[in-house]
Amino acid sequence: MVERGELSARHIAAVVERLGRLTRSLQQSHGIKPAQWEALRYLARANDFSRSPGALAAFLGSTRGTVSQTLITLERKGLIVRRTNPRDRRSTSLELTAAGRELVAADPLTELEAAARDLPEAARETLADGLMAFMRTVQRRNDFRTFGICPSCRFLETRDDGYRCGLSGEALAPADASLICHVHDPRAA
């Protein structure tokens, strides 16, 4: 006999897997493959420090070679450009072009956002908190980098003149603090 807790855990895993498949299905649009959509979405939401091929590969849980092929395709389609990183001339920074930003604005995953908005507010908050905890557990158990936004990072420093990253020492504009960072380290709960 299967215990109720075991059944619930199995059910959660099955629902997450099914949502993943539905998500990939939604992303078959505009001649863009799911991995390309994920790259575009990441670049639209990442801060300046995190828009590199290596950070993108880590975020996607992919190899640099696979990400390189994705970036070549996105570049050929005129959706991204590579630039020399002004902070470190040895590295590359990735940016969306105007066409890339326009495409991200038509992201097919807005359908998931609409479905989430259809839930009662309390259910949305409970689901968001639960999914975040679930994701963090999977990341921790598999030694994956966390990524995240500044307000949930232990390095964020709030000062009279605004925000600052305690790791890099860089000042952060309020808008920057809401973008994904590849050196994110979650605050202790």
Which residues fall within 8 angstroms of residue 131, CB to CB, at 6 or more apart? none
Architecture in CATH for domain 1-118:
Orthogonal Bundle (1.10)
Which residue in this structure is represented by tokens 């038509």? Answer: 106
Contact at 8 Å (CB) between 45 and 180?
A: yes
The pLDDT value given to residue 189: 63
DSSP 29: B
**Would you kindly state where each structural domain of the chain is located, as residue ranges?**
1-118, 124-189
Which residue in this structure is represented by tokens 């380290």? Answer: 185
Contact at 8 Å (CB) between 140 and 189?
A: no
**Mind listing the pLDDT tens digit of every residue in the chain (189 residues)?**
556 666 688 889 999 999 989 888 888 878 899 999 999 999 999 988 889 999 999 999 889 899 999 999 999 999 999 998 777 777 888 999 999 999 999 998 888 899 999 999 999 999 999 998 898 899 889 888 888 888 888 899 888 888 888 888 888 888 888 888 888 888 876
Please provide the size of the chain in residues.
Answer: 189
